[in-house]
Structure 1
């Protein structure tokens, strides 16, 4: 249910903020960030999750006007499994912005962070709490290098 997904995502944002001081050193260590940049990743990561939570309950369709008088309709539908491959620079934010949106719309996620930032770009998400949250239930973390990324890109079961 969309309201359930919104509630879970909001809780994930709360947990990310609550555990920020514990997570910032991991971002600094792995990506070479300075403290202010790492703290911005926590702050912006939580904002991305909260935005995704609001999208979960937003209308799933919209009318799009056209210049020729026809009516166009766009509808958001889950695709199934979404593959996310995130880079090493801003690992947390660049992972969250894709994962949270995919989960908000009812997709499952397979996530492969960059091998240089497996904690700050990957495992921080499900481990930001000692209790299971949305990430554990709906996503899987797949560390590895180019071979893991290639497997995700060529897997016919990963729709996006």
Structure 2
């Protein structure tokens, strides 16, 4: 079994429900269970496209699936939720699942990069990840809490139940 961390996000079609549903589907994957999850966080969108705020979370899985099989499963869950990868980057989406970390492995292929290549600069990933794994050492980057301390996270990400 390998510990893997998944970033979850949605800003369309009842985002809170989309993320909660995806968490249940992750827990139902073969040889896999969700062992920890963050709260839901509300995050302002970035990338210059006008769109609703996102709901983000991170889940820790224990899985017997290899990294590629897990990534295929994530894409299947996204597709079932209605996600269509049409080439638009940073736009609104019904569900986004990112394989952030897969144990201490480093994978750098055309179709899969682990750790996620922008994990260390994304506050909407680091805040929920730090909630459940602050001392996890991201291969080649440092501990999660140290990565979070390097960026300004004070105004961009707030717990969804505290957002106004």
> Which of the five TM-score ranges fits, normalised by the shorter chain?
0.3 to 0.5
The structure with the greater share of residues assigned to helix is 1
TM-score by structure 2 length?
0.32
